[in-house]
Amino acid sequence: MANSASGEGVAERIVRVLETFGVDRTVQTASEIGRRAGLPSSTAHRLVDELVRAGILERDDERRLRLGLRLWELAQRGSTALRLRQAALPHMERVQAELREHTQLAVLEREEALFLERLSHPEAVSNITRVAGRLPLHASSSGLVLLAHADPALRERVLGSPLRAVGPGTVTDARALRRLLGEIRRTGFAAAPGSIEAVSTGVAVPLRDRGSVIAALSAVLPRDAPIAPALRALREAAAGIEAGLRAARED
């Protein structure tokens, strides 16, 4: 259907157009979109016009484009991410009120940790994650929990590929990482001091549904803060979220 000369479909070209938008680039011209998506100018202009008609992009008075609210609405409405997030939010609020640090919810997506939600406290320590942001599985505490419980084939793929250092404490040695993942499965939590940023320690616990780990719940603490209180709050929240997911299924 509607393939270009390269054999790429329109849906893939649309995704390439959407990918040119980001947290730091919410407004662009059609020409900028075309250049960044690697599309010929006439193709880019036609596709942008079509996306505006469909409500996926919006054009302002200066003919600059931004993502349409309609896209957000469509993605949001039918998404399983939204369900998990809604089940988790009240419990995350409780964790955050208690710890007064960042509290986050992440899932495994295309071999990375994708952050579905983040609650922040104005006085919390530094934290580079963003809602809809990603971090490598081996680097963040959430990613480590997801990796520890991932499909063994995926785990071996990650262990077999180069492990980039994100922070000064990132575990980049495959053997050390394998030991760490076993420990996370045994103890039921991951602590990652300085793995993302030197000043902070991530602490994460798994969230289970129907027996499988579906997400990680984490907090970002100052580097030398005790982790026991955070771990207690996260575990209590995880149990609450899991009970909520079970109850929603039985409705």
Under the rule (CB under 8 A), what is the footprint of a second copy?
A: 1-2, 9-12, 14-15, 18-19, 21-23, 25-26, 43, 46-47, 50-51, 53-56, 66-67, 69-83, 86, 89-90, 93, 97, 107, 109-110, 114, 119-122, 131-133
Structure tokens at 12: 């893939």
Q: Would you say 43 or 187 has its CB closer to a second copy?
A: 43
Q: Would you say 66 or 155 has its CB closer to a second copy?
A: 66
Give the residue among 140, 133, 98, 136 at the shortest CA–CA distance from 118. 133
CA 30, CA 34: separation in Å to the nearest integer? 6
Q: Is 69:208 a contact under the CB 8 Å cutoff?
A: no
* Min separation Cβ 122 and a second copy, Å: 7
* Min separation Cβ 152 and a second copy, Å: 17
Contacts of residue 154, defined as CB under 8 A and 6 or more positions apart, other chains included, come to: 111, 147
Q: Would you say 56 or 225 has its CB closer to a second copy?
A: 56
* Min separation Cβ 86 and a second copy, Å: 7
* Min separation Cβ 84 and a second copy, Å: 10
Q: Would you say 28 or 201 has its CB closer to a second copy?
A: 28
Find the largest Cα–Cα distance for the chain. 58
3-state secondary structure of 202: strand
Q: Would you say 96 or 195 has its CB closer to a second copy?
A: 96
Give the residue among 24, 26, 46, 23 at the shortest CA–CA distance from 34. 46
